[in-house]
Amino acid sequence: MEHKEIESNHDLLGGLDISSTEEIEVPKALIEQVVGQDHAVEVVKKAANQRRHVMMLGTPGTGKSMLAKAMAELLPKEELQDVLIYHNPEDSNNPKIRVVPAGKGKEISDAHKLEAQKRSQARNMFVMLLVLGVVVYSFYIGQIFMGIIAAVLIAILMRQFMPKETIFIPKLLISNVDKKIAPYIDATGAHAGALLGDVRHDPFQSGGLETPSHDRVESGAIHKAHKGVLFIDEINTLRIESQQNLLTALQEKEFAITGQSERSSGAMVKTDPVPCDFIMIAAGNLDALKGMHPALRSRIKGYGYEVFMNDTIEDTPENRQKFVRFVAQEVVRDGKIPHFDRSAVEEIIHEAKRRAGRKGHLTLKFRDLGGLVRVAGDIAHGENSPLTTSRHVLKAKNIARSVEQQVAYQYLERRKDYKLFVREGAQVGRVNGLAVMGEDSGIVLPIIAEVAPTQSKSEGHIIATGMLKDIAKEAVQNVSALIKKTTGKDISGMDVHIQFVGTYEGVEGDSASISIATAVLSAIQGIPVDQTVAMTGSLSVRGDVLPIGGVTYKIEAAALAGIKKVIIPRSNLGDVLIEDEYKDKIEIIPVTKIEEVLEHSLVGKEKAGFISRLKRLATKTSKINIALPDTAPASALP
In angstroms, rounded to a whole number, what is the distance separating the alpha carbons of residues 616 and 560? 38
In angstroms, rounded to a whole number, what is the distance separating the alpha carbons of residues 355 and 365? 9
The continuous run of DSSP H or E covering 240 comes out as helix 240-252
Q: Quick check: 230 and 283 in contact, CB under 8 A?
A: no
The continuous run of DSSP H or E covering 199 comes out as strand 198-199
Rounded to whole angstroms, the maximal C-alpha distance in the chain is 131
The reply to whether 492 belongs to the active site is no
**C-alpha distances out from residue 260 to 96, 196, 197, 252, Å:** 19, 9, 8, 20
Q: Quick check: 523 and 430 in contact, CB under 8 A?
A: no
Annotate 34-62 with DSSP letters as a single string: --S-HHHHHHHHHHHHHT-EEEEESSTTS
Phi-psi region of 128 (alpha: psi -120 to 50; beta: other; left: phi over 0): alpha
Q: Which of 543, 525, 529, 448 is nearest to 488 (CA)?
A: 525
Of 175, 242, 511, 522, the active-site residue reads 511
In angstroms, rounded to a whole number, what is the distance separating the alpha carbons of residues 211 and 189? 30
**C-alpha distances out from residue 300 to 190, 293, 461, Å:** 20, 11, 51
Angle CA 596–600–603, to nearest 5: 125
Pairing of the two strands 254-255 and 274-275: antiparallel
Pairing of the two strands 96-101 and 81-86: antiparallel
Residue 564 CA, chain-centre distance (Å), reads 36
Residue 625 CA, chain-centre distance (Å), reads 34
Strand partners, 544: 593
In angstroms, rounded to a whole number, what is the distance separating the alpha carbons of residues 531 and 528? 9
Pairing of the two strands 426-428 and 430-437: unpaired
In angstroms, rounded to a whole number, what is the distance separating the alpha carbons of residues 518 and 496? 13
Of 64, 227, 353, 554, the active-site residue reads 554
DSSP class of 211: P
3-state secondary structure of 275: strand
Residue 143 CA, chain-centre distance (Å), reads 78
The reply to whether 359 belongs to the active site is no
In angstroms, rounded to a whole number, what is the distance separating the alpha carbons of residues 372 and 351? 10
Q: Quick check: 305 and 46 in contact, CB under 8 A?
A: yes
Q: Which of 417, 425, 605 is nearest to 531 (CA)?
A: 425
Residue 279 CA, chain-centre distance (Å), reads 22
Strand partners, 363: 312
Q: Quick check: 494 and 528 in contact, CB under 8 A?
A: no
Catalytic machinery residues: 511, 554
